[in-house]
Amino acid sequence: MILLERTDELRQLTRALHRARDGHGDQIVITGPLGCGKSALLEAVRARATDVRVLTANCSVLEQDYAFGVARQLLEPALCRGGERWLTGTAGLALPVFSDDAPVDSAFAVEEAAVSGLTSLTHAMSAERPTVLLIDDLQWADDPSLRWLVKLSRTLERQPVLLVATTRDGERGPWLEAFRRTEIRPEPLSPKAITELVERRTGQTPDDEFVAACHAATGGNPLFLCAVLSHVTSPTADQAPYVREMRPARLKERLVRGLATQPQHAQDLAKALATLGDDDELAGSLARLTDQQAREARRVLDQAGLATGRPAVRDAIEESMSVAEREDWQVRAVKLLHDNGRPAEQVAARLLSVTTAQGGWAIETLRAAAGTAIRRGAPEVAARYLRRALRDVPRDSEQRARLLVDLATAERFFDPAASIRHISYAVPLFRDITERAAALVRIAPTALGSAPRPVRDLIDQVAADLGHNKELAFRLEARQRYAWHSDPASLADSAQRLKQIIGVTPGERELQIVLLDAAMLTARMPAHEVADIASNVLKQEPPHPRHVHTAIPLLIKVLAAADVAHEAVPWLHQAFGQATNTVEQALIRAQQSFVLMHLGRPGEAHRAAEQAVDLAVLDWRGDTTTAAIGLTAVAMELRDPGLIAKILHSRPDRDEPPGCAAVYRMLHAAGEALAGQAGPALDRFLDCGRAFDAVGWRNPVLLPWCITTARLHAQLGDLAAAREAAAQAWDRAVEWGAPVGVGRALYVLGRYTPGRKGLGMLHEAVQVLHANPYERAKALLQLGARERADGDVQAQRHLDEAHRLAVQSGAERLAQRIAKELDGNSPGIAVALTRTEFKVAGLVVQGLTNAEIAEELSVTSRAIEKHLTNSFRKLGIRRRTELPGALGRTYPPSA
């Protein structure tokens, strides 16, 4: 290997190699045009990396659809030698990448799990021995491998891992741009270097005119220069005119002509090698040569300068073939790989480039490859395999139907609308009604909220014809009822139907969840009855992040609205701990936010809501109705303009069911109210209320529009209208029966009801809300304010208790409002602290240590110490034990 004028590049690569040995990794991309010497530099790194683990991969355009193919090239040899000792903990998530039939915890353990596992696996390997990853032609890597390499590259600074890759100019996709950190670009060779290279290749000192001609013809490109030298007789001046005509395009033409002059067996082997790419073990068989003929053909090609490992030679060979000839070679190659037991994904990736039908073996290979891709976390690759398989089956066959169902199963991870569409195409192709029903239940109930009318009609038709398969009947009914969720007539009998379901089988529980959601929305069954059934269902469902793609988010919403949200907290915590991708994490965070809000923990609810929105929970193409409703309820209760704006900005641009559309309008109205636009906000809230009533959604906890209209009427000076709206909220809250709803309505109605009657309502609200510190603090604020106006000495005690509860629950805005009601001698401490200081102080009041607070807020313990020091200074105290008293304004809590 000759490396000329590459001293600086080699020095940079060698330094990076030394740093990796010392535990400071890096990533380097060697880039430039074809033939500039990128691969030679990569080989030089390999030669220097004698005391580290070296893992290599050569990317191929033919295997871009082979999910995690590059990752397997890099890591599989080391795993084969070292066993599976590294595949523990998070690294175990990478197991499906290396095994076609590896078990996975969930069908929803999609690509992010495998990416995390591969990253941890690489770290585990490098912990034993510094590791160098060498990747040639990165521009042709498969997308899942690129995503892993991007994530890995962000962790290398403190890992003994050096990642060096080559990529060709003009082939930079978004993943390559994200990957690039340090870039090396080999410069063209100078005339001096060309002179040295010519001397080494020919054994003769070239004439200056010959060197100048070489430099002009090749631009100093080493690959083109070597091609020129293989076509000249001597490096003399008389050869200069001949060299000047040999531009890069001409060189390729000469390669093609040179191939045509070779013996037929050499031409056939060259075409076989170009077709197979790096998998040249079967090249002789593909060319239909004996072993002796194959060896002789290789010798002839090498002597002619036609080594097929060079990209330019491979390109020239492919250009020498007609389209039909290339198709024929590719078809035979794919069949040969299949017959020789190559992995289904490797064969399927090549089948994507074959345009002619290949029969049953190809269809089964593509289906098998799709299943493997799903397990490896590459559903989009699986979908490509299945779409290719669909081209080879009759349009009206049941085989096509099964492929469509498989395709829909892959698509539900990244394109739920397409998944529903393909199921609807498949169902009529099945002759057996049971198979039709089984296909339809592949669609999650919640995915049908905005399904087109023909899809809903199809479900109704299959359900009517199903017969005696009770489990499928229950599951179809769940989908029927959710598909018609905005139809008051369909919702009306949900409570009655719910009483008929026992909930023994998974299908029954799925139907129970949908019916519970309907009974909660309509408030046609008391909250305590709904809570009992919902709690029992949750106990039978193990926590797992896959629940976000099922009906269970509806169950979480029901538990919160029924005021038994505490049962969902540990369940969701376990599910989140297992979540491996952002969709799961975002949807679970949205559920946690809603649950925490209804437990009276607004500080934690606010953080969870912001995390959900920041993770783009509403941008997911699946159903986000439940997440939107929950986040809206949280934002309205917190009265946070920033969170309201974030949610409205993230609203998906698509048609939504009437109820969900009204939820977004209600949130918009809340934003108007906070901006001081009481009149327009009131009109919008009343319009939302009419929309909710039209579809039968009457739950006062989930949809608190009546309470908000009461406040707006009062703000506009119409106390009679305020009392009327508050009374309507009270009636609906009593009908539903959840304490949080009843208590809210009581303190709002009590606020606008004069005399002892109103005061009694406020006292009752405080008692009803005893289990919810946030709502109890709001009730105590109204009670204390009324008592203060009446000159009652109890006012100070109630306001102080309200302030303590607000601080304890992390409700900063509420604490500030309460501080204004306290007497003029109060130091106004809640206003003095920053938002973060207030959060930290509130967590101290709850009894958390600095380390626990740091973990809760995802910051360092040093940061917590800094916030506490600032808080102590502002509050005029010296030690931690004084903080609860200072925040509570030194008044004892009420009995």
Q: What pLDDT, on the 0 to 100 scale, is given for residue 306? A: 66
pLDDT number for residue 555:
95
Backbone angle region of 858, left / alpha / beta, with phi > 0 → left and psi within -120 to 50 → alpha: left
Give the span between the Cα atoms of 258 and 267, in whole angstroms: 10
In order of start, what are the domains of the chain with their CATH numbers? 7-184 (3.40.50.300), 191-246 (no CATH), 773-895 (no CATH)
pLDDT number for residue 61: 75
**Do residues 832 and 862 lie in contact, with contact meaning Cβ atoms separated by under 8 Å?**
no
Q: Which long-range contacts (CB under 8 A, 24 or more apart) does 501-504 make?
A: 501/474, 503/533, 503/536, 503/537, 503/540
List of residues 6+ apart from 338 with CB closer than 8 A? 347, 361, 362, 365
Span 721-731, mean pLDDT? 95
Which among 295-299, 530-534, 789-793 has the top mean pLDDT? 530-534
Q: Rounded mean pLDDT of 777-804?
A: 90
Q: How confident is the model at residue 747 (pLDDT cuts 50, 70, 90)?
A: very high
Strands of 182-184's sheet in order across: 53-58, 131-136, 161-168, 26-32, 182-184
Cα(342)–Cα(338) distance, integer angstroms: 6
For the ranges 312-326, 405-419, 702-716, the lowest mean pLDDT is seen at 312-326
Mean of the pLDDT values across residues 421-447? Answer: 93
Q: How confident is the model at residue 608 (pLDDT cuts 50, 70, 90)?
A: very high
- pLDDT mean over 471-490: 87
Block residue for tokens 């604490």: 815
Average pLDDT over residues 584-600: 92
Mean pLDDT of 242-264: 72
Give the closest residue to 806 by CA, choosing from 763, 776, 767. 776
**pLDDT 10s digits, 482-502:** 887 777 877 888 889 999 998
Give the residues across from 626 on adjacent strands: none
pLDDT of residue 854: 81
Nearest to 443 by CA among 623, 280, 223: 623
For range 509-516, the mean pLDDT? 95
Band (pLDDT 50/70/90 cuts) for residue 109 is: very low
pLDDT digits (tens, 9 = 90+) for 112-167: 678 888 998 999 999 989 999 999 988 888 888 988 898 888 888 889 999 999 98
pLDDT(102) > 60: no
As a whole number of Å, the end-to-end CA separation of the chain is 87
Residue carrying the six token digits 């198709």 = 327
Amino acid identity, position 99: S
Top mean-pLDDT range of 220-234, 334-348, 842-856: 334-348
Contact 738, 561 (CB under 8 A): yes
C-alpha–C-alpha distance, residues 62 and 345, integer Å: 12
* In the predicted structure, residue 573 carries a pLDDT above the cut 50: yes
- Please give the model's pTM, rounded to 2 decimal places: 0.68
Mean pLDDT (whole number) for 584-597: 92
What are the two backbone dihedrals, phi and then psi, of residue 135, each rounded to the nearest 5 degrees? -130, 120
> Whole-angstrom Cα distance, residue 880 to residue 475?
56
Q: How far is CA 871 from CA 358, 788, 838, 888, in A?
A: 74, 30, 8, 14
Place of tokens 């109930």: 445
Query: How far is residue 485's CA from residue 135's CA, in Å, rounded to a whole number?
Result: 52
Say which residue, 42 or 178, is predicted with more confidence: 42
Place 178 in a pLDDT band, splitting at 50, 70 and 90.
Answer: low
**Under 8 Å between Cβ of 210 and 237:** yes
| SS3 of residue 54 by DSSP | strand
Percentage of the chain modeled with pLDDT above 70: 90
Kindly give, in sequence order, each residue whose CB lies less than 8 Å from that of residue 700, ignoring residues fewer than 6 positions away: 523, 706, 707, 729, 732, 733, 736, 741, 744, 745
The top-scoring range by mean pLDDT among 187-191, 215-219, 652-656 is 187-191
Could you tell me if 492 and 522 are in contact, meaning their C-beta atoms sit under 8 angstroms apart? yes
Q: Which is nearest to 553 in space by CA: 625, 626, 486?
A: 626
Q: What is the CA radius of gyration of the chain?
A: 35
Q: What is the pLDDT of residue 366?
A: 95
Q: Which residue did the predictor score with more confidence, 250 or 161?
A: 161
Lowest model confidence (mean pLDDT) among 138-147, 225-234, 504-513, 719-728: 225-234
The pLDDT-based confidence of 304 (bands split at 50, 70, 90) is: low
Angle (CA) 384 386 389, round 5°: 115
The confidence band for 829, taking pLDDT boundaries of 50, 70 and 90, is very low
Lowest-confidence segment of 123-137, 269-283, 284-298 by average pLDDT: 269-283
Residue 824: pLDDT band by 50, 70, 90 thresholds?
very low
Average pLDDT score, the chain = 85
